[in-house]
Amino acid sequence: MTTQVQTLGATRTNERLGAVVLAAFFGLGLVFMAGFAPAQALHNAAHDFRHTQNFPCH
């Protein structure tokens, strides 16, 4: 019983950590990849996103 609870807790923590890492990876990837994308619309979208996140821009 106790082992089962600890296992569930550890699994939940690992899933949360994985979600945070995944979100950070996609977030940074979106900002940098969209920032260098040739498409003007994509660039503007990334630009707006940077401003909403107070990302140093210009």
User: Can you spell out the DSSP letters for 31-48?
Assistant: HHHHHT-S-HHHHHHHHH
**Interactions with Zn ion, residue window 39-58 (CB under 5 A):** 57-58
Nearer to Zn ion, 4 or 58 (CB): 58
Nearer to Zn ion, 8 or 57 (CB): 57
Measured at CB, which residue is nearest to Zn ion?
A: 57
Q: How many CA atoms lie within 13 A of 7 on its CB side?
A: 4
Shortest distance, position 51 Cβ to Zn ion, whole Å: 5
